[in-house]
């Protein structure tokens, strides 16, 4: 059997790994970016390993976050698959211990104090690989595939189109060394990630694939002294908290918490800059950073959440001088004034991204977002005193773009095209390493008839 996997990110790699021990099949793994040895650090979204490669590899071992796979299977089924995917990451990376040294009673107390404030805390097991071990995992996978007689890696090889006969996919068209090549396959797994958004949308349009819209998440990255959050992060590593605002009844959530971490700029397609954060296993700052995101789902007549998020991010880039993101003290935001270089220098919390441009986020984010974010920060302050201190830093904007959600069944099979599987972030099904891996695993298992 001939199998093609499009995209060598978490989903594609996990699928390929599942085929590693199978004989009698030929797997071609296509990646439009560089191989792992020539891939540069600033190639964040693309290249062998995908978007997770230079992340700090926080594996969130929960069904609650990181994707929407519970829409396709029961919680219990997903839990079993998460365990299986985690085993792969654990065994190949060699990071055996979990980061949540949870004391059951202490976590229950935190949940209890949150509930009093209408904050919903989701305790989750976390395996924190750290940026260095995440890269090690990807390198090992690359070596293993390289040594396998039936897995072939094609880097710098962009799949431009599928070959479709009636309602069946029979192959693909790719560019290699500037030449277009066509190959036939029995099964194709599309695992193109967020950087493959526009490719996926082209496929959706061309072959009339069914889809639903996902929300767009827009907000800021918050940076506080570690002492403000340590009582949570010492127990949970990452606190995942949801809040529904009184003002607009919007869902606001914390995301990607980095105790001792660093704020980073994410360079997206067409030089669009957004904010992100990461942390190392062994190098720590004095701060904790995390994203605070407002989820918005558009209905009609406007149905382009990606465009909306991009528009807001471009506005922030423009006001930050073109090629930067904005930093603002919380105290300046609430007093209605911009932050300046001087105010940031004098600030008690020292930014871990010192080159960010001091400015005013209220010129960027609509009132609804500012109101949602400030209300949530004030609410968080009740369980993490110090959160709403004027010295708290906000970086903007952080936007999570999710692809349109392709119509698939519980085995990740396209509802419209036979022999096509759509998995991971690019199919709008997941938004984290572990659930992306799980979706790749499900497709691989189905192909093998498991």
Ligand X SMILES: Cc1cc2nc3c(=O)[nH]c(=O)nc-3n(C[C@H](O)[C@H](O)[C@H](O)COP(=O)(O)OP(=O)(O)OC[C@H]3O[C@@H](n4cnc5c(N)ncnc54)[C@H](O)[C@@H]3O)c2cc1C
Residues that bind ligand X (CB under 6 A): 6-12, 30-33, 44, 46-47, 50-52, 55-58, 60, 66, 158-159, 191-196, 199, 266, 276, 424-426, 431-434, 436
Determine the Cα–Cα distance for residues 237 and 260; give it in Å rounded to an integer: 11
Choose between 338 and 431: whose C-beta lies nearer to ligand X: 431
DSSP state of 218: E
Helix (H) or strand (E) segment spanning residue 84: helix 75-93
Least distance to ligand X from the beta carbon of 435, Å?
8
Choose between 257 and 333: whose C-beta lies nearer to ligand X: 257
Burial 387-415 (b: 16+ CB within 10 A, else e): bbbebbbbbbbbbbbbbbbbbbeeebbbe
Least distance to ligand X from the beta carbon of 377, Å?
23
Q: Which of 322, 342, 324, 323 is nearest to 332 (CA)?
A: 342
Task: Give the three-state DSSP class for 35.
Answer: coil
Choose between 196 and 359: whose C-beta lies nearer to ligand X: 196
One-character DSSP codes across 144-191: HHHH-TTEEEE-SEEEEEEEEETTEEEEEEEEETTEEEEEE-SEEEE-
Least distance to ligand X from the beta carbon of 242, Å?
17
Pairing of strands 357-358, 393-400: unpaired
Least distance to ligand X from the beta carbon of 43, Å?
9
Q: How far is CA 189 from the centre of its chain?
A: 20
173 forms beta bridges with 161, 182
86, burial (CB in 10 Å: exposed 0-12, middle 13-18, buried 19+): buried
What are the residues whose beta carbons fall under 8 Å from the beta carbon of 286, sequence distance 6 or more?
A: 225, 226, 260, 350
Determine the Cα–Cα distance for residues 377 and 119; give it in Å rounded to an integer: 11
Choose between 313 and 436: whose C-beta lies nearer to ligand X: 436
DSSP state of 63: S
First to last CA, the chain: 15
Choose between 7 and 358: whose C-beta lies nearer to ligand X: 7
Least distance to ligand X from the beta carbon of 362, Å?
26
Least distance to ligand X from the beta carbon of 393, Å?
19
Tokens of 217: 């998440």
Least distance to ligand X from the beta carbon of 74, Å?
22
Least distance to ligand X from the beta carbon of 424, Å?
2
Choose between 225 and 424: whose C-beta lies nearer to ligand X: 424
Choose between 71 and 345: whose C-beta lies nearer to ligand X: 71
DSSP state of 439: H
Choose between 10 and 296: whose C-beta lies nearer to ligand X: 10
Give the count of alpha carbons within 13 A of 178, CB side only.
0
Choose between 195 and 245: whose C-beta lies nearer to ligand X: 195
Choose between 379 and 431: whose C-beta lies nearer to ligand X: 431
Least distance to ligand X from the beta carbon of 434, Å?
6
Least distance to ligand X from the beta carbon of 70, Å?
16
């Amino acid at each position: 059997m001939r199998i093609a996997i499009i995209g060598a990110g978490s989903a594609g790699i996990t699928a390929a790994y599942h085929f590693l021990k199978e004989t009698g099949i030929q797997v071609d793994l296509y990646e439009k970016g560089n191989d792992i040895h020539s891939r540069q650090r600033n190639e964040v979204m693309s290249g062998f390993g995908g978007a997770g490669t230079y992340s700090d590899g926080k594996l969130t071992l929960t069904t609650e976050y990181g994707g929407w796979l519970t829409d396709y299977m029961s919680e219990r089924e997903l839990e079993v698959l998460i365990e299986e995917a985690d085993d792969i990451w654990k065994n190949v990376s060699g990071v055996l211990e979990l980061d949540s040294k949870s004391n059951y009673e202490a976590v229950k107390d935190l949940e209890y104090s949150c509930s009093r404030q209408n904050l919903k805390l989701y305790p989750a097991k976390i395996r924190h690989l750290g940026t260095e071990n995440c890269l090690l995992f990807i390198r090992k996978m690359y070596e293993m595939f390289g040594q396998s007689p039936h897995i072939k890696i094609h880097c710098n090889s962009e799949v431009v189109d599928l070959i479709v006969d009636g309602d069946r996919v029979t192959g693909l068209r790719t560019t290699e060394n500037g030449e277009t090549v066509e190959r036939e396959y029995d099964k194709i797994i599309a695992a193109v990630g967020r950087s493959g958004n526009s490719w996926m949308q082209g496929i959706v349009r061309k072959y009339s694939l069914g889809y639903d819209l996902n929300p767009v998440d827009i907000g800021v990255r918050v940076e506080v002294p570690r002492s403000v959050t340590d009582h949570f992060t010492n127990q949970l590593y990452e606190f995942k908290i949801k809040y529904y605002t009184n003002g607009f009844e919007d869902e606001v959530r914390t995301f990607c918490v980095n105790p001792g971490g660093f704020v980073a700029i994410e360079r997206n397609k067409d030089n669009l800059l957004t904010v992100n954060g990461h942390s190392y296993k062994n190098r720590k700052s004095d701060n904790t950073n995390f994203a605070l995101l407002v989820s918005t789902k558009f209905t009609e007549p406007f149905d382009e959440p990606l465009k909306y998020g991009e528009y807001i991010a471009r506005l922030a880039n423009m006001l930050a001088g073109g090629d930067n993101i904005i930093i603002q003290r919380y105290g300046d935001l609430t007093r209605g004034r911009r932050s300046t270089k001087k105010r940031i220098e004098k600030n008690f919390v020292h930014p871990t991204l010192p080159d960010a441009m001091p400015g005013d986020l209220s010129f960027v984010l609509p009132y609804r977002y500012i109101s949602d974010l400030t209300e949530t920060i004030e609410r968080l302050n009740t369980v993490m005193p110090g959160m709403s201190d004027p010295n708290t830093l906000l970086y903007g904007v952080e936007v999570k773009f999710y692809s349109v959600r392709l119509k698939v069944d519980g085995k990740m099979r396209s509802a419209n095209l036979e022999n096509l599987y759509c998995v991971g972030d690019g199919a709008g099904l997941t938004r984290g390493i572990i659930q992306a891996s799980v979706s790749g695993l499900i497709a691989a298992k189905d192909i093998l008839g498991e």
